[in-house]
Amino acid sequence: MPRLIDLLDIASVPIARTLGIVEEHRAHGHVTFSMEARPEHHNPLGTVHGGVYCDLADMAMGIAMLTTLHDDEAMTTIELKINYFRPVTAGRLVADARVLHRGRTSGFIECEVRDAENRLAAKCTSTCVLLTGDRADAIFSRYRT
């Protein structure tokens, strides 16, 4: 059975297409994604909506975790926390995600979101549960053609 990460094309993920998220780097336990913050991403105050930061970070953390999975494993997020440090109105946002812990049944990932001047805009952490057997097969079936 192929690994889930090998079946997944980031460009085909609807939220990635909607937000314009692109993959910059992928290695075992580490990915970097980016996107251009645009006016359609703004909240009523004229800055990038917090959910956009969160979507970018969540995508990066999920893919970082997927790079650590074995052939028969899948995963899903069970907890996510984000802290916002600076508002962004426009320009490139970069999410750098790293797996800090990968155990037998769970994983813990962190992500920094930086603005175009490389200033920390948000920090996010996530906990994932690892799935095997029928639970993993249910996720794999979504990506098989």
Tell me, yes or no, if the pTM score tops 0.85: yes
Q: What is the pLDDT of residues 8-18, one digit of tens each?
A: 677 788 899 99
The number of helix segments (H) and strand segments (E) in the chain equals 4, 6
With cut-offs at 50, 70 and 90, classify the pLDDT of residue 71: confident
pLDDT for 140 equals 65
* CATH architecture group of domain 4-140: Roll (3.10)
One-letter amino acid identity for 126?
A: S
* Alpha helices by DSSP H, 1-132: 4-7, 14-19, 50-66
* Residue 85 · residue 123 · CB < 8 Å: yes
* DSSP secondary structure letter of residue 91: E
Residue ranges of the domains in the chain?
4-140
